[in-house]
Amino acid sequence: MAGTRALLMLENFVDGKFLPCDSYLDSYDPSTGEVYCRVPDSGKAEVAAAVAAARAAFPGWSARSPQERSQVLLRLADLLEQSLEEFAVAESRDQGKTITLARTLDIPRSVQNFRFFASSILHHTSECTQMDHAGCLHYTVREPVGIAGLISPWNLPLYLLTWKIAPAIAAGNTVIAKPSELTSVTAWMLCQLLQKAGVPPGVVNIVFGTGPRVGEALVSHPEVPVISFTGSQPTAERITQLSAPHCKKLSLELGGKNPAIIFEDANLEECVPTTVRSSFANQGEICLCTSRIFVQKSIYSEFLKKFVEATRMWKVGSPTDPSASMGALISKAHLEKVRRYVKIARAEGARVLCGEGVDRLSLPPGNRAGYFMLPTVITDIKDESRCMKEEIFGPVTCVVPFDSEEEVVKRANSVQYGLAATVWSSNVGRVHRVAKKLQSGLVWTNCWLIRELNLPFGGMKSSGVGREGAKDSYEFFTESKTITIKH
């Protein structure tokens, strides 16, 4: 518990109203290690109230035209954009990321999520086929599923929450969202904008709290037929078990162990800084971050030297410092987990070239109790090592050499995950060949994280089930019905 300073108190948002809760959780500022906020510790009763509100709002909201719903989303986008700086400061404080990143990535993308789905909802068409010999015409209609349960993680809090809320309500559903208990503030701030934008009461309800209490109550509720989840694989497994008795529709966006494959003909001027960014952006806490770097033998030493030099330039500092590239990790427990992986690598005989345990981390006095660590590069590590197999989700990346195209594809595919890969080469044929052979939902060649929101986003193998994007999210948040007309 905190001392006597006033804490930010969040409330649930149900049926268009802010409601206090019986119990609260402490929420920490990761850059100082101090409690600064209290988050409702909701459970079954709060979910029941949210379901009642969402149920009552559904007939009116789903009956509105796509154009009317689109207008509401556009107003929401405008309001969020007008408050961009305020949201960026809050996201940074709550999550530990730099304000610069929140200002240039998280909040602009949240605005874009509303604008994007406000537009894409206007352009869907349905199928129709003729069966003249039988005197029949068949067509499909799509209808909103009902009440959608949306569970989001702590790494890109508003970015990923709005990526779910926007398509769900654009398609005519009502929603109950549960943000991560570690990062609830911007979701709570968004509720104030929902009212101003004219989102009717009950269309968006937000219940705060932990996964085991309020998350499970939401997933288990029989009146919530669709669950969209982003987070870890073990939690996805639990959600799948709880949903099974109700045959719920599930979208699961999970982790990665993403390879970067760097061929000898890669343009290192672009490849090195982009691979530093793909490894360490947002403290390495993005499911798309690179954590295994395979470099062709002929350029291995040159790459490693340049990569370590560039990593050492990646400044760790207070999230408010405009010259910092990396802020604090999300929690003490997470920091300890990430550090443990570096220890394991060392114990297995790997070499740590920079960062954790090698370089000195210098922080302003006010941040010394925060959850910071230096970006860390590991080499001389076996593919079977835990650091090369498991999702670390922090600023740690491993660099290893390879000989041939065939060999590297096999090694890149040898993990349980299949989310995102990068391929670096100036040989167009090779780029296509390798991209096609990788077991990965996303492949970026000669770049990273350039997003086209229309196209499918999601992973293979243990990285998830389903895809998100204009058409994919629309299909997920609607049910199709085939109608046959005999004439």
Ligand X SMILES: NC(=O)C1=CN([C@@H]2O[C@H](COP(=O)(O)OP(=O)(O)OC[C@H]3O[C@@H](n4cnc5c(N)ncnc54)[C@H](O)[C@@H]3O)[C@@H](O)[C@H]2O)C=CC1
Ligand Y SMILES: N/C(=C\C=C\C(=O)O)C(=O)O
**Which residues are annotated as catalytic?**
253
* Amino acid in the structure at residue 276: V
Which does residue 288 touch among ligand Y, ligand X, none (CB within 5 to 8 A, set by kind)?
A: ligand Y
Contact predicate 186/94, CB 8 Å: yes
- Separation CA 359–CA 124 (nearest Å): 54
Least Å distance, CB 354 to ligand Y, is 24
What letter would DSSP give residue 316? B
Which does residue 266 touch among ligand X, ligand Y, none (CB within 5 to 8 A, set by kind)?
A: none
For ligand Y (CB under 6 A), the number of binding residues is: 12
Position 156 contacts ligand Y (CB under 6 A): yes
Among 151, 160, 190, 271, binds ligand Y (CB under 6 A): 160
Q: Is 127 helix (H, G, I), strand (E, B) or coil?
A: coil
Which does residue 156 touch among ligand Y, ligand X, none (CB within 5 to 8 A, set by kind)?
A: ligand Y
- Separation CA 251–CA 248 (nearest Å): 10
Which does residue 232 touch among ligand X, ligand Y, none (CB within 5 to 8 A, set by kind)?
A: ligand X
Least Å distance, CB 327 to ligand X, is 16
Closest by CA to 367, choosing from 29, 16, 24, 18, is 29
Which does residue 210 touch among ligand Y, ligand X, none (CB within 5 to 8 A, set by kind)?
A: ligand X
Least Å distance, CB 44 to ligand X, is 13
Position 253 contacts ligand Y (CB under 6 A): yes
In 246-380, where does DSSP find H-type helix? 268-280, 300-312, 332-347
Q: Which two tokens mark 231?
A: 């987070």
- Torsion 27-32-34-36 (CA) sign: negative
Q: Select 299 or 392, whichever has its Cβ closest to ligand Y.
A: 392
Least Å distance, CB 248 to ligand X, is 12
**Residue 325: partners with Cβ closer than 8 Å, 6 or more residues away:** 98, 280, 314, 315, 316
- Cα separation of the two ends of the chain: 71
Q: Select 283 or 425, whichever has its Cβ closest to ligand Y.
A: 283
Position 94 contacts ligand Y (CB under 6 A): no
Least Å distance, CB 289 to ligand Y, is 8
Q: Select 250 or 286, whichever has its Cβ closest to ligand Y.
A: 286
Position 286 contacts ligand Y (CB under 6 A): yes
Q: What is the CA radius of gyration of the chain?
A: 23
Least Å distance, CB 233 to ligand X, is 8
Q: Select 350 or 392, whichever has its Cβ closest to ligand Y.
A: 392
Among 271, 288, 324, 330, binds ligand Y (CB under 6 A): 288
Which does residue 250 touch among ligand X, ligand Y, none (CB within 5 to 8 A, set by kind)?
A: none
Phi/psi-derived region of residue 121, left when phi > 0, alpha when psi is between -120 and 50, beta in every other case? alpha
x/- letters, 423..462, toward ligand Y (CB under 6 A): ----------------------------x-----x-----
* Amino acid in the structure at residue 69: R
Position 62 contacts ligand Y (CB under 6 A): no
Position 114 contacts ligand Y (CB under 6 A): no
Least Å distance, CB 16 to ligand X, is 23
Closest by CA to 295, choosing from 256, 266, 258, 257, is 266
- Separation CA 247–CA 299 (nearest Å): 51
**Residue 331: partners with Cβ closer than 8 Å, 6 or more residues away:** 28, 30, 182, 371
Find the angle CA(13)-CA(14)-CA(19) to the nearest 5 degrees.
60
Find the angle CA(385)-CA(339)-CA(235) to the nearest 5 degrees.
75
* Amino acid in the structure at residue 142: R
Q: Select 87 or 159, whichever has its Cβ closest to ligand X.
A: 159
Which does residue 356 touch among ligand Y, ligand X, none (CB within 5 to 8 A, set by kind)?
A: none
Q: Select 98 or 155, whichever has its Cβ closest to ligand Y.
A: 155
Contact predicate 283/372, CB 8 Å: no
Q: Residues interacting with ligand X, by CB under 6 A?
A: 151-155, 178, 180-181, 210-212, 215-216, 219, 230-232, 235, 238-239, 253-255, 287, 334, 391, 393
Where does this chain bind ligand Y (CB under 6 A)? 153, 155-156, 160, 163, 230, 253, 286-288, 451, 457
